[in-house]
Amino acid sequence: MDKNLVKEKLRKGKVCIGVWHEIGHPDIAEIQAMTGWDFMLYDTEHSPIELTQVQSCIQVAARFATTPLIRVAWNDPVLIKKALDIGAHGLLIPWVNSEAEAQRAVESCRYPLEGIRGFGPRRASMYGTNTDDYFERFAKEEILLIVQIETQRALENIDGILSVEGVDVAFVGPMDLSISLGIRQQFDNPQFKEAVQLVLRKCKEYHVIPAMDGGGTAERTKQRIDMGFRLLPLASDVDFLVEAEQTAYQSIKDLIS
């Protein structure tokens, strides 16, 4: 069993840039992986893809040095263990709003006696051929646990959330956080900026990696890196497809008009 390359880079203080995957097709996953992103974040919360599709995508992407991460649909032990069992090197847990919910996420990722994860690391242990290494090392040391900070309540409980041992990364969900604050998509609003700075300060205090969505463009991603964020998915496969389609359409329309 290899290392979690993203977790290793983060330990060294480096920035990791990746992409969301929402379409669920192996061809798309292979193209994304061969591009060279640090990670691919498979979204099973807001996209229609199922874990069978995610596993197929992870399999075709495995020959490239792109770390597979999965956003599960909810902070649910069953969803978490299934995502880990197909070979995710890390998980993004949405809607973590309290210390107890952060602790639940950690315990769901860990085997007893430290947690409640049931044993059955199917593909994660290469179908039982690498079970000992997965159980003794990889599951304990290499899984990256990311909690999503996306509500006013999470901000109020930020100390408790980030103090939980086993929380590696705090991911600011800008859209949901702005909605929760009553200022949807007003990312320049002082209230939103203050919330983001709070997360950054608390991450530094508790030695947790700050993360944030890249915002869809290289420029916005760079701005957020400059703010202090160190794990950022730039955009999604859907975003890239829409942009390419619209650019191509407008180019040919301009030529023939």
SS3 of the chain: CCCCHHHHHHHCCCCEEEEEECCCCHHHHHHHHHHCCCEEEEECCCCCCCHHHHHHHHHHHCCCCCEEEEECCCCCHHHHHHHHHCCCCEEEECCCCCHHHHHHHHHHHCCCCCCCCCCCCCCCCCCCCCHHHHHHHHHHHHCEEEEEECCHHHHHCHHHHHCCCCCCEEEECHHHHHHHCCCCCCCCCHHHHHHHHHHHHHHHHHCCEEEECCCCCHHHHHHHHHHCCCEEEEEEHHHHHHHHHHHHHHHHHHHHC
The pLDDT tens digits along the chain (257 residues) read: 589 999 999 999 999 999 999 999 999 999 999 999 999 999 999 999 999 999 999 999 999 999 999 999 999 999 999 999 999 999 999 999 999 999 999 999 999 999 999 999 999 999 999 999 999 999 999 999 999 999 999 999 999 999 999 999 999 999 999 999 999 999 999 999 999 999 999 999 999 999 999 999 999 999 999 999 999 999 999 999 999 999 999 999 989 98
Instruction: Sketch the domain layout of the chain as residue ranges.
Output: 5-256
Residue 207 among the catalytic residues? no
Q: From the candidates 21, 25, 46, 89, give the one annotated as an active-site residue.
A: 46
CATH of domain 5-256: 3.20.20.60
pTM equals 0.97
